[in-house]
Structure 1
Amino acid sequence: MTAVEKPPHVDPVRMLHIPDADLLAEFDAPDLRTLRARLAARNVSPAADTLRWAGWAAGRPAGDKVIAEARRLLNAPVDFLDPAHGRSGLYGFHYLHWAQPLTRAAALTGDDRYPVRFAEITLDWYASREKVRGEWPGLDVVWYTLGVAGRCQVFIEALHVLGGNPALPDEAVAAMARTLLGGARWLAEEHDAFRHGNWQLAGCSVLAQIAAFLPELPESPLWSEIAIARLREHLELDVYADGGHYERAPSYHTMCLGALQLAAVAGECALGWDLADHPRLAAMHDWLLAMTAPPGWVPPFNDSHLVASGEHLLRGHHLLGRPEYKAAALRWVAPERIAEVLSWLPPRPGRGDPLAEFEAAPSMPPNAEPAAHRGLLPHSKFVVQRSGSSEDAAYAAVNCGPLIEHELESHSHRTVLDLVLAANGEPLLWEAGGPDSYDDPGYYDWYRAPLAHSGVLLPGHELADEHDADVLVAAALPTADILVAEHHGYPARHRRTLVLVRGERPYWVLTDAVTEPFRVLLHGIRPWVPVPGGHRSDGGPGLLVLPGQPERARAVDLGTGRTTTPGPGGARTGQLYGLGLDCPAGAASTVLVPLRTPTEPLPDVSEVDGPGGAVLVRRGRFADLVGPNHLVRTTGGNPVAAVSWGARDIQHAGRALLGAGRGLRTADIRWSADGADAEVECTARTALRLAVAPQGNRRAAAVLVNDVRLEPRCADGVVSLVLPAAGRWRVRIERSV
């Protein structure tokens, strides 16, 4: 394996073993005692201020939890050389984040046992630096970006809280100060030019935080200059225009977003630059909000863990003040937790206490529904479908994008057009996500493998590295949300169509078309039990799976595998239960129906003659004919809506409902007693014909296009008009009495 960072450049004097005289000269201090006194007397806070937090947390459950964690560390054995930490775990152990409860417990209690134990751990680590050996070729355990950055954050906090505490020996203070100085110098040299990935972004965020925490050092302006240059480059080149992070894994997106948030706080408080003004930083928050399901989480696509969006958007509100971020925080974060998150943040220049500022800031109107994203995120290549914005609304997210490289190993999984579904506040189809540790023996055979995703397998074929899907249609319409996409990652092209039929009782029709026999993979968080014509989740809320042609879709039990699922209070370890549908070459449709309870009446699903896998779904008072490129909804045998995502001619019972020229892309038509309303998207000037009413030769009294009244041209109950150019158009037909 080639080196994943620059060739080693650890200077033995400037970074590794900084002499006492050089350290004191850097701080312009005659001795270490003076250096400590200056650190303790400064009015300089880190971007995340433990002392502010401790003032809030003392006597509360959050503070009690940290004290309990710190007590466990007082006598816990520590071995920095032990290979039992694991191949990747050894690197993470040297970040020292696990030791932070000692610093925080000292801030909460003033108990000298905590700084004494923290000093012992610090000096033990300092002595082990040159002895430890890692198993990742070309990657030093201590001197690599994430390790240097992680420890520097730990020592910034410790010096801020404990630097003036006599219980902390001089040797520990000197070791931490040397680590910060040497680490900042190493980060500045390592990141003198842009490179993709979360490592550099995280490292340069910490470089900015060191510069802000130690502004008196002569090199601090250089560190600030390098940090802001790299961070702005990452916002341009490592953040897609739609706000998604380059690596396309939501938890790495929030890792990078959090790093940018801290850099923005440090920058505006101490460095004289305003990162929050960069439009891509706001776009990253918008992307997170766009991907968030109604219960407040983002699916764990690729190597992601489960992401809860509320706290990230709360910090986004602190920086950007957008009402929609406040509304999201109020919806998904408990009031006590809002107060705790904001207690870590220093007041912005010229502003008051962050919690008071948050409470006084405008939010969404009390009865307004948030404008939840539907459709394609075109650069990061995820598609989101929603039936509404309430917590029990139906939600789908589909991964349509490529495999992305990484500094060490790709965080992309070997899948494409895999989907997550949720409704009634619960995941219905789910992803394996990433493991707790990359040392997990199942990482390659399960988490990253195609089998762990709700996609399609071609038996005997591996998915190619180049599997970026072409999104042909991604439409958010009143009656239905539509996705049509295809990829050539297998020798045979795979086209997937996902139609969310909206309304009071939403459901999906999933159609896969492959020119070879294929297997549809469906992974739920509950076991599957057979029902007439298909399967459903055992218990509820759950999912009903009804193949359009059950006799041609052989069900296969795929077994179980590990995952992490949303649960009360956060993520919990769970199981994926796999259901496979083996289908012959051609098109196969599957109806996916959210169920609130196991006893809920099941819809009637039947195949309709004709190419493309059309199905008829009868549920309640509606009957929906869903074909390969259109949908017709009827009640009592009469159409009430029609949707086209490629059909230029839609008829029902011999009556024309829609006719269009080649420029038509999508159309959604709804009929009522007053006439017809249509939303139409076309790619060019387009001739359009719309039925005034779904039955009878009714005449049109008026036609309005984007609220502009036109003279109606009506014959045999059909209005003819021309949409003058590409775009999205609203058409209203008022029918005569």
Structure 2
Amino acid sequence: MLKRTKSHNLGLWWRTIRDIPPRQLAARVEFELKKRSLPKLPLFLRYPLALGIQIPTPALRQDYLQGLELPHPLPIVNPPADTYSFTFLNQTKELDFPLTWNSTAYSRLWQFHLHYFDWIRDILITGYRQGAIDSYSLGKIQYLISDWIAANPLYSFDGWHPYTTSLRIVNWTYAIRAIPSLANPAIATSLWRQLNYLQRHKEYFAGGNHLLENLRAIIIGGLNFSHPQAEKYVQVAVNQLCQQLSLQILPDGCHYERSPMYHLIVMNLVAESVACLGNAGWTVPETIVNYLEKMLQFALGIRLAKGSYPLWNDAAYNGVQTLDEVTSWVSQLLCKAEGRRQEAEGKSLLSRLELKFQANSSSHLKMTKLKVNLKNLVHFNGLKLLALDLNPRRIESSKQLAMSRLKLTPMPNVSPLHTGTTDEDLKLPSPSASFPDSGYYILRNCSDIELAFDCALPCPQELPPHAHADCLTIDLYFQGRPIIVDTGTSEYTAGEIRDRERSTLAHNTITIANQNQSEIWGSFRVGDKAQPFNLQSGYSPDWQWVSAAHNGYCKPPLQSLHHRWVGLGTREIVIIDYLETLVSTNYISTLHFAPGLVLNYHPDTEVYECQLENNSLYLKVIGLEANDEVQWLDAKVSQSWYAPEFGLRYPRGLLQLQGTLPPKGKVVCIVMKFDSPPEVIWNYSNGQGVLEFEDKRALKWLFQDKCLVSA
């Protein structure tokens, strides 16, 4: 990467902030000024500035979340322990009591988790399973809540960050409703102050999932209190939730930050808001329910064979409950016979509240409280996921690429030519998932092969924190096992690891001129953002396919473009990359294999073999030129790792193809096949490529007018 000069840094800052609306920038400036100034003021000045005009703490509602209450009698609380153990992000720390709530010894994200109090949920779920809560756990909740109140005065950070405050309000609410004896005046007063603080300090400067977390907390926390002011807070939050969902949920149901992990987080927080509103007898706007249903369908669509999902953008499996757990309880909430059977019982606290929807005269859906279900989460026996056919389509880019020298033209709406099969052999495509609004596709077939393709925008223009430079990356799974997978996310701390995990080289796509396709920098910033275009998808009797291009390298002097076509046959996977550039440069194509997998090269057939448990995957690279080089780098030298969870990094090997990209352009074809080596013939001349298989099936592409076209 090029060394940054002062002028380059200024330009990078400009390219980062130019997409952020002025009101959002102003909110960020206001937040930073208050964060630095208010903690320096004495408390008697800090309270009115942070909380406004205060009323005495209202009484708690008596009929709210009664289904969460644990059986009586509760055990006698032991004295506080000398130390308490906490495990967040796969990092365990033993902390002395009273706790040090903020320390440079913690990573920022670990410290945030300490302030969330999410561990309360684990204690309550264990209590429900066992029918009682033990004295140690009861004491841990009681003493640590009191310790937090004593150690974190108003507007001290990170305890009073709006995001940590949001999660803590919800978790404390569940705690005092499960254990009413906890609701002493000190805790009730602290909850009321946190609610008032959050009402005045919503994260408009961040937006996205952070703002939705704020709204959930105000809804669930506000319903705690029996007072008109609390009801006003809740009503405003419900209205804002409707508005934000209309902005943040794409037409295909995906959350607009395009991270499966954050999609599940958002879906869960919306569902909890709906459940608590219904339990309190409030009318739930139909808008919220409709968006929740869309989000559920997206989550079910991206589910891989064994319950995981692609780690697109910032995503880690320990950042949220499992996909099956979330979709199961949301399906129960919506009274749908959908959702996977839960092997782990009682993962959702609110699944203990049996609720259903009823239509009322105002065309809204009213959540009506039924009898409390004190059993564990309702189980669902299997799921039939509707097939989302990959019908041929073309999605026009919202912004035309003005690059006359490259003569970009829209791709025609055609399928790859298939020979050797009659119309009588035509069969429907397998249950693949097509989400063109978000830019995510998962091709599936009856051979238990799943091929995920990311042709998505990296992020909303104004919200780059969780974006990766990963456009046109692929993931390959066989029988639910990862074969070729993106790196994932192990941490948010700024530095070499964070930069690497967000980089183009960390994904299964192509890097040109040693640059990232999107200008990722810092922990959560992005300058110029790659824009996908010419998105198509389709199917023929034996093939499903998706193709797209992006403009991440189109700026002078390179003016380079990357086009990719990915196809899934019965046992084959084909990747066609068409690269073009104005000036000669270099390129690197990477395929990161799952930990434990090794590729062995057979020079006689020029095929790589990856041995799996019961069969093998064979891979062949076609279309190489004299200056191209393909090499397998094992886990010891690859500098590649797989990070399926925060705090975990597993070394793994990668296949790397690199060479010179000349002005005339380059076409590279990768063919993979399970069970036997691919026997193919590749012909490329006069702008046309033909890939012919041993059974006379053939795929054809045209490379003309600076565009990759399926012919």
Q: TM-score with structure 2 length normalisation?
A: 0.70
Does 1:402 find its partner at 2:481? no
Q: Which residue of 1 aligns with 2:76?
A: none
Contact 1:208 1:224 in 2 (8 A): yes
3-state SS in 2 of match to 1:544: strand
Q: Does the Cα contact within 8 Å between 2:688 and 2:700 map onto a contact in 1?
A: yes
Match of 1:590 among 647, 659, 669: 669
Q: Which of the pair has more CA radius of gyration?
A: 1
Find the counterpart in structure 1 of residue 599 from structure 2.
Answer: 528
Tell me if 1:4 matches 2:79: no
- Asked whether the 8 Å contact 1:432–1:447 carries over to 2, the reply is yes
CA contact (8 A) 1:469 1:487 kept: yes
**AA aligned opposite 1:283:** K
SS at match of 1:91: helix
How far apart are residue 469 of structure 1 and its match?
0.7
Aligned to 1:125, which of 143, 148, 152?
148
Q: Would you say the 8 A contact 2:256–2:459 is kept in 1?
A: no
Q: What residue number does 2:656 align with?
A: 580
Q: Structure 1's 105 and 280: CA in aligned 2 closer, same or farther, altered over 3 A?
A: closer
Distance 1:375 1:471 in 2: 19
State the partner residue of 2:263.
253
Distance in 1 (alpha carbons) for counterparts of 2:472 and 2:651: 21
Residue of structure 2 in register with 1:312 after alignment? 326
Residue 480 (structure 1) aligns with: 543
1:648-673 deviations in Å (ceiling 9; x for gaps) = xxxxxxxxxxxxxxxxxxxxxxxxxx
SS in 2 for 1:298: coil
2:70 aligned counterpart, secondary structure: helix
Check the 8 A contact 1:45/1:213 in 2, yes or no.
no
SS at match of 2:643: strand
Choose from 162, 170, 182 the match for 1:153: 170
- Contact kept in structure 1, 2:386 and 2:431, CA below 8 Å: no
- 2:57 aligned to 1, 16, 26, which one? 26
The change in CA–CA distance for 1:460 and 1:69 in structure 2 (over 3 A counts) is closer
Distance 1:276 1:358, change over 3 A: farther
Could you tell me which residue of structure 1 aligns to residue 397 of structure 2? none
Residue 682 of structure 2 is matched in structure 1 by 607
Q: Which residue of structure 1 lines up, in the alignment, with residue 552 of structure 2?
A: 489
RMSD of the alignment, in Å?
A: 4.2
Number of equivalent positions: 573
Cα distance in 2 between the residues matched to 1:131 and 1:145: 12
SS in structure 2 of the partner of residue 518 of structure 1: strand
Question: 2:105 is matched with which residue?
Answer: 84
Q: Is the deviation greater in 600-609 or in 242-251?
A: 600-609
Q: Does structure 1 conserve the Cα–Cα contact (< 8 Å) formed by 2:314 and 2:488?
A: yes
Other-structure match for 2:254: 244
1:580 is paired with a residue of what secondary structure? strand
Structure 1 residues 243-286: Cα deviation after superposition (integer angstroms, max 9, x where no partner): 11111111011111111010011122215122565322211111
Q: In the alignment, what sits opposite 1:384?
A: 442
Aligned equivalent of 2:587: 518
Distance 1:94 1:561, change over 3 A: same
Structure 1 letter corresponding to 2:330: G
* Map 1:324-363 → 2, pairs under 5 A: 325-326=338-339, 329-330=340-341, 333-334=342-343, 337=344, 340-341=347-348, 344-348=351-355, 349=368, 351=370
1:427 is the counterpart of 2:482: yes
Distance in 2 separating the partners of 1:461 and 1:291: 30
Equivalent residue, structure 1, for 2:567? 500
Structure 1 counterpart of 2:221, which letter?
Answer: I
Partner secondary structure for residue 484 of structure 1? strand
Q: Do residues 290 (structure 1) and 275 (structure 2) align?
A: no
TM-score by length of 1: 0.68
AA aligned opposite 1:605 = V
In structure 2, the partner of 1:657 is none
Question: Which residue of 1 is the match for residue 502 of structure 2?
Answer: 448
Moved more, 340-349 or 441-450: 340-349
C-alpha contact (below 8 Å) 1:414/1:463 kept by paired residues: yes
Q: Residue 416 of structure 1: SS of its match in structure 2?
A: coil
Larger strand percent = 1
Q: Deviation per CA, 1:287-326, whole angstroms, max 9, x where unpaired?
A: 2122222332210111111374222221221132334x33
Is the Cα–Cα contact under 8 Å of residues 74 and 117 in structure 1 kept in the other structure? no
Deviations 1:520-575 (A, max 9, x none): 11111123332331423354466432111356541145503332349xxx997533
Q: SS in structure 2 opposite 1:233?
A: helix
* Stretch moving more, 239-248 or 607-616: 607-616
Contact 1:380–1:401 (CA under 8 A) maintained in structure 2: yes
Structure 1 unaligned regions, length at least 5: 29-37, 56-65, 134-139, 631-643, 648-737
**Distance of 2:231 and 2:564 partners within structure 1:** 54
Aligned 1:104-123 pairs, distance under 5 A: 108-123=131-146
**Is contact 2:115–2:158 with CA below 8 Å preserved after alignment?**
yes
Q: Is the 8 A contact 1:547 1:590 kept in 2?
A: yes
Q: Structure 1 pair 131/473, CA: closer, same or farther in 2 (3 Å)?
A: closer
Alignment of 1:178-193 (within 5 A): 178-191=189-202
2:176 pairs with 1:163: no
Q: 1:208, CA displacement in angstroms?
A: 0.6
The superposition leaves residues 124-164 of structure 1 with CA deviations (integer Å, 9 ceiling, x where unpaired) of: 2222214997xxxxxx4122221111211221122123332
Kindly indicate whether structure 1 or structure 2 has the higher relative contact order, using CA contacts under 8 Å at least 6 residues apart.
2
Letter in 2 for 1:564: A
Give the match's secondary structure for 1:627.
strand
Please state whether the residue corresponding to 1:185 is helix, strand or coil.
Answer: helix
What is the alpha-carbon distance in structure 1 between the residues aligned to residue 439 and residue 258 of structure 2? 9
Q: Per the alignment, in what secondary structure is the counterpart of residue 297 of structure 1?
A: coil
Alpha-carbon shift at residue 629 of structure 1 (Å): 4.9
C-alpha spacing 1:519/1:613, structure 2 compared with 1 (3 Å): farther
CA distance in 2 between partners of 1:354 and 1:111 (Å): 22
Q: Is the 8 A contact 2:146 2:187 kept in 1?
A: no
Give CA deviations for 1:647-705 in whole Å, capped at 9, x if unaligned. Answer: 3xxxxxxxxxxxxxxxxxxxxxxxxxxxxxxxxxxxxxxxxxxxxxxxxxxxxxxxxxx
- Percent identity, aligned pairs only? 17
Runs (5+) with no aligned partner, structure 2: 1-12, 14-24, 74-83, 356-367, 390-429, 519-527
Q: Which residue of 2 aligns with 1:555?
A: 630
Answering whether residue 426 of structure 2 is matched by residue 416 of structure 1, we say: no
Q: CA separation in 2, counterparts of 1:131 and 1:84?
A: 23
User: Residue 623 of structure 2 contacts residue 682 of structure 2 at CA under 8 Å; is this kept in 1?
Assistant: yes
